[in-house]
């Protein structure tokens, strides 16, 4: 009588372990999000399209380059890395904390014979997490798998850059000839996710001789019950009709953007500016993927993982160009900005996957400046594809900066309102600048994820109570600026240092 539930749980663990490996090795990069550069916008909820006096107009909105009342030369640098995840770390940690076949055997030996007999005769068999550490480990693993099947994703990015901005002044040309900016950007994007058919999320397995068993997973228990062939075919994760897909993709981009903007003084009606950015792009793309229905999906995953061998020949190298257009209007301290990035939608090739395009991104920004106070807010008008399969990004964020001579404080919040997003809730942002030298900013989600888990042993057991935000980002860098009057003076005053670990788009 022990065979039926034991075989079912063995099959469940095999599925779970395979999906853990898929989560680590499989992701999708369908496009790019808007991204971030510079500490000021980073600490203010990612808002930068209508932010005055920023050195990063080259990135956010080229029209901002010529919106300053006093034309200046600016130099900025920014480095960073960002991480966000959803329902992957709990599954990985549960796989590493001892939920093995030995645990299942031990638990099965503890079950009374009448309970097993009841399951075979059409009853149920419940495993309560409170009955033993082994039971708790198995229930935790079941819940991690359940959450993973509903929604999962892992995203890592690093965006780094240096920008120089110059506004030449000519004696015989009143109002100047506009502002020029050039930069060098180096970015890396990688994602991980697996997509299952939402109709086939039940854990039902055939155990031979026409017997089917399914698992109902709750927060504190796992219940096994007898099922049937119809339920297996129409709703099981292992059904031959359950088409699933997974990919692993990464994209490195080296960019040299060049921008020009010209502003026009409308006197009492304010000031308006327009800008354009051309960027040379050199990309390195790498990706693998697999799909299948039911057991074929698992077999394809195991085959890929067992035969995986990284080769630089699988990396595709290409040259492209990108086009951004922006506009900005300011009156009495209020500003509105609009930008379209990658309007030419450059196409990226992969050796083993279909081609992808970096789709155009359109963002609206609002801002206000009064002496030492800056307010800004950005809205994505397009729902942007991300590096994860079937996941999109449409960010809304904003914040406030109190900017004094030797000290600045930035606070903000942002979130992804796309229906197909990772649903990570509100993300808080902030940063400080001290003595015009050190500027440090951070972004952190309010949702947390456990690093270890109850019942974990060894290192994971000692870290079981530790929880980390599932969205975490840091940044440090610097910006220098100086007035440009003949003879041109490019002396810098460091005021905006920035390192970014994690990130939004």
**Three state DSSP letters for 414-470:** EEECCCCCCCCCCEEEEEEEECCCEEEEEEEECCEEECCCCCCCHHHHHCCCCEEEC
Please count the structural domains in the chain: 2
Is position 241 within any domain?
no
The range of the structural domain enclosing residue 10 comes to 1-30+89-151+202-236
> Which residues have CB under 8 Å from 239's CB, separation 6+?
200, 232, 233, 293, 294
Distance CA 342, CA 337 (A): 17
Q: Are residues 358 and 492 in the same domain?
A: yes
Question: For position 331, what pLDDT does the model report?
Answer: 95
300 domain-assigned: no
- Domain of 341: which CATH number? 2.40.160
Q: Which helix (H) or strand (E) holds 94?
A: helix 89-96
pLDDT values of the chain reduced to their tens digit, one per residue, 505 residues: 334 344 344 444 444 444 444 443 343 344 688 989 888 899 999 999 999 878 899 999 999 999 876 556 888 888 989 999 998 888 777 766 654 444 544 555 555 555 556 666 666 777 787 877 777 777 888 888 888 888 889 999 999 999 999 988 776 666 678 999 999 999 999 988 888 888 888 888 887 777 788 888 888 888 888 888 888 888 888 888 888 888 888 999 999 999 999 999 998 999 999 999 999 999 999 988 888 887 787 777 777 777 777 888 889 999 999 999 999 999 999 999 999 999 999 999 988 888 888 899 999 999 999 999 999 999 999 999 888 888 899 999 999 999 888 899 999 999 999 999 999 999 999 999 887 778 899 999 999 887 654 444 545 555 556 788 999 999 988 776 655 444 443 333 333 433 333 333 3
On whether both 100 and 142 belong to a single domain, the answer is yes
What is residue 43's three-state secondary structure?
A: helix
Q: Do 227 and 322 sit in the same domain of this protein?
A: no
Residue 173 placed within a domain? yes
Q: DSSP string covering 211-278, please? A: -EEEEEE-SSEEEEEEE-HHHHHHHBTT-TT-EEEEEEEEEEEEEEEEEEEEEEE-GGG-EEEEEEEE
Report the number of secondary-structure helices (H) and strands (E) in the chain: 10, 25
Indicate if 132 and 251 belong to the same structural domain: no
Same domain, residue pair 80 and 113: no
Instruction: Tell me: do 265 and 120 sit in the same domain.
Output: no
Q: Which residue has the tokens 């995986």?
A: 308
* Same domain (yes/no): 73, 174: yes
505, 384 contact by CB (below 8 A): yes
Please report whether residue 194 resides in a domain.
Answer: no
Same domain, 227 and 283: no
Q: Computed over its alpha carbons, how large is the radius of gyration of the chain? A: 27
Please check whether residue 99 lies inside any domain of the structure: yes
- Whether 384 and 282 share a structural domain: yes
Tell me how crowded residue 233 is: count the other CB atoms within 10 A of its CB: 17
443 and 491 share one domain: yes
State whether 46 and 130 are in the same domain: no
Encoding tokens for residue 68?
């300053």
Cα–Cα dist 324/186, whole Å: 18
User: Does residue 49 share a domain with residue 139?
Assistant: no
Provide the pairing of β-strand 499-500 with 72-86: parallel
Beta bridge partners of 319: 282
* Residue 360, in any domain of the structure: yes
pTM comes to 0.81
Does a structural domain hold residue 219?
A: yes
- Residue 482 has a pLDDT of 58
Classify residue 359: in a domain, yes or no: yes
């Amino acid at each position: 009588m022990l065979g039926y539930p034991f075989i079912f749980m063995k099959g469940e663990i095999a599925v779970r372990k395979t999906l853990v490996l898929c989560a680590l090795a499989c992701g999708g990069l369908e496009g790019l999000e808007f991204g971030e550069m510079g500490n000021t916008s980073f600490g203010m909820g990612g808002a930068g399209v209508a932010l005055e006096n920023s050195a990063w107009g080259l990135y956010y909105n080229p029209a901002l380059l010529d919106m300053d009342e006093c034309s200046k030369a600016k130099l900025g640098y920014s480095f960073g890395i960002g991480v966000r995840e959803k329902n992957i770390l709990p599954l990985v940690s549960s796989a590493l904390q001892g939920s093995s076949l030995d645990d299942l055997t031990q638990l099965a030996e503890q079950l009374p014979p009448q309970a097993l007999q009841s399951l075979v005769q059409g009853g149920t068999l419940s495993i309560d997490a409170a009955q033993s550490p082994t039971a708790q480990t198995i229930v935790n693993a079941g819940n991690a798998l359940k959450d993973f099947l509903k929604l999962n994703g892992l995203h890592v990015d690093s965006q780094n850059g240096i920008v120089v901005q110059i506004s030449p002044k000519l004696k015989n040309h009143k109002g100047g000839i506009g502002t020029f900016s050039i930069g060098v950007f180096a970015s890396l994007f990688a994602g991980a996710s697996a997509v299952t058919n939402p109709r086939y999320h039940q854990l039902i397995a055939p155990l031979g001789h026409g017997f089917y068993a399914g698992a109902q997973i709750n927060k504190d228990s796992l219940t096994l019950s007898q099922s049937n062939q119809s339920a297996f075919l129409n709703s099981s994760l292992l059904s031959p009709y359950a088409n699933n897909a997974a990919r692993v993709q990464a994209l490195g981009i080296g960019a040299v953007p060049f921008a020009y903007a010209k502003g026009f003084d409308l006197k009492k009606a304010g000031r308006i500016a327009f800008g354009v950015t051309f960027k040379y792009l050199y990309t390195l793309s790498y990706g693998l993927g697999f799909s299948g229905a039911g057991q074929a999906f698992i077999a394809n995953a195991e085959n890929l993982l067992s035969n995986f061998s990284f080769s630089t020949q699988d990396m595709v190298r290409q040259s492209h160009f990108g086009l951004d257009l922006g506009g900005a209007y300011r009156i009495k301290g209020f500003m509105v900005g609009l930008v379209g990035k990658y309007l030419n939608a450059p196409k990226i090739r992969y050796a083993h996957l279909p081609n992808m395009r970096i789709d155009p991104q359109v963002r609206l920004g609002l801002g206000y400046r009064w002496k030492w106070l800056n307010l800004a807010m950005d809205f994505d008008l397009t729902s942007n594809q991300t590096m994860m399969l079937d996941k999109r990004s449409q960010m809304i964020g904003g914040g406030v900066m109190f900017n004094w001579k030797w000290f600045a404080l930035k606070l903000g919040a942002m979130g992804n309102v796309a229906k197909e997003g990772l649903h990570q809730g509100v993300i808080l942002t902030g940063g400080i600048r001290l003595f015009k030298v050190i500027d440090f900013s951070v972004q952190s989600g309010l949702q947390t994820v456990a690093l270890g888990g109850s019942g974990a042993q060894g290192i994971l057991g000692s870290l079981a109570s530790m929880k980390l935000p599932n969205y975490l980002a840091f940044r440090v860098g610097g910006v220098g600026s100086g007035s440009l009057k003949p003879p041109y003076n490019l002396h810098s005053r460091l005021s905006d240092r920035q390192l970014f670990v994690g990130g939004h788009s």
